[in-house]
Amino acid sequence: MIVKEDLLAQLRRYFDLNLYEVKLWAALLSRGVSTAGELSDIADVPRSRSYDVLESLEKKGFVIMKTGKPIKYIAIPPTEVVDRVKKNMNLQAQNKINRLDSIKNSELLGELESLHKTGVSLVDPAELTGAVKGRHNLYNHMDMLIKGAKTSVNIMTTEKGFMRKAEGLKGSMAKAKKRGVEIKIAAPLNKENKKHVDGLKGIATVKHNKEIDSRFMTVDGQHTVMMTMDDGQVHPSYDMAIWVKADYMAAGMNGMFNQTWKGLK
């Protein structure tokens, strides 16, 4: 049996399996029922590894071991495997979430916070500057800054960027608003993103901006996050921003933002 490399690569990616696992699984699917030795020969997997790998596939719900001599393995229908993998992934994800939730009020988190505060207190503010790569990481960083905001959050963004922020940052912005934080967003508005404007009513003041094509955020007049690329031209994985914690720079960006804000409606 010859299985194309791109198929094996897809199986590894979608089902989170290693190379030996996908080879043996594909071989078993092609046979329906087979022994470890037969599958080893078909899949070109060392016999010394086949039993361990098939045992792993059994635990993950891909195959069933048929008792008897010699031991044989039965392939489970792929549609059933997909359902099982989804269920297992959801269970694993929930277990990880529960573990993380359990440390929120624990001594462990207290010790970690103490280490961080001690470390930050020793750092020159000018050193708190970094590059954030990837849109997912970028939005996580913005979310963190908004969660810690005390007085103000100013955001200038694009049409698509506004919709992403309205969806991804709404929760943290709503909590910030309840703490008394003033939130302003300047972005190109149209029929497509009107529902997002409505969704932020009572949370943020949103104005239509077509004067300046820029992407940045300032928080409390201390933090500045500047996106360095056109989000319409860059893949999300390659999006990048510069984060700077410096009053001087934040004041300058706020000055530009407020000057523009005055002329917006």
Compute φ and ψ for 203, nearest 5 degrees. -110, -50
pLDDT at 124 over 70: no
Q: Would you kindly state where each structural domain of the chain is located, as residue ranges?
A: 5-95, 127-262
Residue 1 binned pLDDT confidence (cut-offs 50, 70, 90): low
Sheet holding 129-133, edge to edge: 129-133, 240-245, 223-227, 216-219, 152-156, 182-187, 205-208
Dist CA 38 CA 52 (whole Å) = 15
Which structure tokens are listed for 134?
A: 């990837």
pTM for this structure? Answer: 0.62
Task: Just give the CATH number of 5-95.
Answer: 1.10.10.10
Average pLDDT over residues 123-147: 83
Q: Where are the alpha helices (DSSP H) in 69-179?
A: 78-102, 107-121, 135-147, 159-168, 170-178
Q: What is the pLDDT of residue 3?
A: 67
pLDDT in tens, 196-238: 999 999 999 999 998 889 999 999 999 999 999 999 999 999 9
DSSP 8-state symbol, 67: P
Is 80 exceeded by the pLDDT of residue 138? yes
CATH of 127-262, one of 3.20.20.450, 3.30.870.10, 3.10.105.10, 3.40.50.1450: 3.30.870.10
Lowest mean pLDDT among 65-69, 83-87, 195-199: 65-69
On the question of a common fold for 5-95 and 127-262, the answer reads: no
| Cβ atoms 186, 152 nearer than 8 A | no
